[in-house]
């Protein structure tokens, strides 16, 4: 691209004083004319020094939402609407942008491509087993794809056309917008180039459960939202999680009713631990034996916190009390 366009960079976060400085510095260190970068940090209601740190950068405009129920979509929408740039890069505050990303991504846009994303990797991929799982699962499909995540470069035009992110979604706002973008006839491209480094910073089983629970909630909310459309999204995942959670319980119940608990438990185990029969590589990556076994166990058991999230979504639909984030 001979004439480099202005790029708006929207960074969102809550209580990210540990990360925000490095994130902003990575944008400023880009192999791109800094005068063409307009940076906005949108804070969802931090109790730490996140906003203070962001404001210490002359190039950064900080927006404080102070929202009782912040969501990523609200933060991103406030950010891009503050800007007038033809392109908008979205980042989570716990990421570090690759210095060559802008030039590589911009070269792929054309009249049909509205969004370009790349590779996200963990900064500490083997810090613990949670980091191993997360790093593996960032490896999405390449080429024209169904959806992007929290890090993506978008044409402003498509944000205005779609209205941007859903303000109310507590999770899954990026795939949901991706769906609407594709339904408007645009294409999303994921290139095999480094885009960001990320720090999941997960240390406990409780954090792992919460992340899985929220992913299940997102599968349910988005899967049911588009279930009657010709091009469905996440309905297959929603059904898979639900069936793989319920069938083992049903088999055990039938075994008890038939007076043969052992047979019921065996049949349930075959369904539950089915991933052990199939996973030799992950997206083409060979796994160490120890990681492979742990990942298969994770794949077998993660459905339960995910199914709990699905049940929470259904509870919210019935009672009118959806899951909300609290500042």
- Rounded to an integer, the average pLDDT of 156-171 is 96
Q: Work out whether strand 95-97 and strand 187-198 pair parallel, antiparallel, or are unpaired.
A: antiparallel
Q: What's residue 284's pLDDT?
A: 52
Q: What's residue 275's pLDDT?
A: 81
Chain-centroid distance, C-alpha 122: 13
**Residue 255: both structure tokens together:** 């075994």
Question: 293 versus 60: which is more confidently predicted?
Answer: 60
pLDDT of 280 above 70: no
Q: What's residue 296's pLDDT?
A: 85
According to DSSP H, which parts of 37-120 are helical? 50-55, 72-82, 101-106
55-59, 120-124, 264-268: least confidently modelled range: 264-268
What's the chain's average pLDDT? 93
C-alpha–C-alpha distance, residues 327 and 324, integer Å: 10
C-alpha–C-alpha distance, residues 124 and 201, integer Å: 9
Question: If we measure between CA atoms, which residue out of 281, 113, 118 comes closest to residue 196?
Answer: 118
Q: What's residue 16's pLDDT?
A: 97
b/e per residue 315-326 (b: at least 16 CB within 10 A): ebeeeeebbebe
Q: Work out whether strand 285-286 and strand 281-282 pair parallel, antiparallel, or are unpaired.
A: antiparallel
C-alpha–C-alpha distance, residues 134 and 305, integer Å: 16
Q: What's residue 326's pLDDT?
A: 82
Question: 238 versus 3: which is more confidently predicted?
Answer: 238
pLDDT of 324 above 80: yes
- Chosen CATH of 7-203 out of 3.90.550.10, 3.40.50.300, 3.40.30.10, 3.40.462.40: 3.90.550.10
Strands (E), 230-280: none
Name the residue ranges covered by the structural domains of the chain.
7-203, 205-327
C-alpha–C-alpha distance, residues 174 and 148, integer Å: 6
Confidence of residue 3 (pLDDT cuts 50, 70, 90): confident
The rounded percent of the chain whose pLDDT value lies above 70 is 95
The rounded percent of the chain whose pLDDT value lies above 90 is 83
Neighbour count for residue 4 (Cβ, 10 Å) = 13
Q: Tell me: the pLDDT tens digits for 215-230?
A: 999 999 999 999 999 9
**Residue 4: both structure tokens together:** 């480099």
pLDDT of 279 above 70: no
Question: If we measure between CA atoms, which residue out of 106, 102, 104 comes closest to residue 114?
Answer: 106
C-alpha–C-alpha distance, residues 149 and 228, integer Å: 24
Q: What's residue 34's pLDDT?
A: 94
């Amino acid at each position: 691209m001979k004439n480099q366009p202005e790029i708006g960079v929207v960074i969102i976060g809550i209580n990210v004083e540990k990360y925000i400085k490095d994130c902003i510095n990575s944008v400023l260190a880009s192999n791109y004319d800094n005068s063409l970068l307009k940076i906005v940090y949108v804070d969802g209601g931090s109790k730490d020094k996140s906003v203070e740190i962001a404001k210490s950068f002359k190039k950064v405009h900080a927006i404080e939402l102070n929202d009782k129920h912040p969501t990523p979509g609200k933060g991103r929408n406030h950010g891009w609407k503050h800007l007038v740039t033809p392109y908008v890069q979205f980042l989570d505050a716990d990421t570090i942008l690759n210095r060559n990303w802008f030039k590589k991504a911009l070269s792929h846009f054309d009249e049909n491509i509205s969004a370009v994303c790349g590779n996200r990797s963990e900064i500490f991929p083997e810090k613990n087993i949670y980091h191993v799982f997360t790093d593996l699962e960032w490896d999405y499909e390449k080429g024209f794809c169904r959806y992007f995540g929290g890090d993506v470069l978008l044409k402003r035009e498509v944000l205005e056309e779609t209205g941007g992110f859903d303000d109310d979604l507590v999770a899954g706002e990026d795939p949901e917008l991706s769906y609407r973008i594709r339904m408007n006839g645009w294409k999303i491209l994921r290139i095999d180039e480094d885009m960001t480094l990320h720090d999941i910073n997960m240390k406990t089983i409780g954090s792992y459960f919460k992340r899985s629970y929220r992913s299940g909630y997102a599968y349910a909310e988005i899967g049911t939202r588009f279930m009657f459309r010709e091009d469905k999204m996440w309905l297959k995942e929603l059904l898979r999680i639900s069936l793989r959670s319920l069938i083992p319980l049903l088999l055990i119940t039938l075994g008890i009713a038939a007076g043969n608990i052992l047979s019921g438990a065996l049949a349930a185990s075959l369904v539950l631990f089915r991933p052990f029969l199939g996973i030799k590589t992950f997206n083409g990556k060979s796994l160490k034996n120890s990681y492979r076994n742990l990942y298969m166990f994770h794949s077998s058991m993660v459905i339960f916190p995910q199914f709990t999230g699905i049940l929470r979504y259904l509870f919210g639909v019935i009672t009118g009390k959806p899951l909300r984030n609290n500042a």
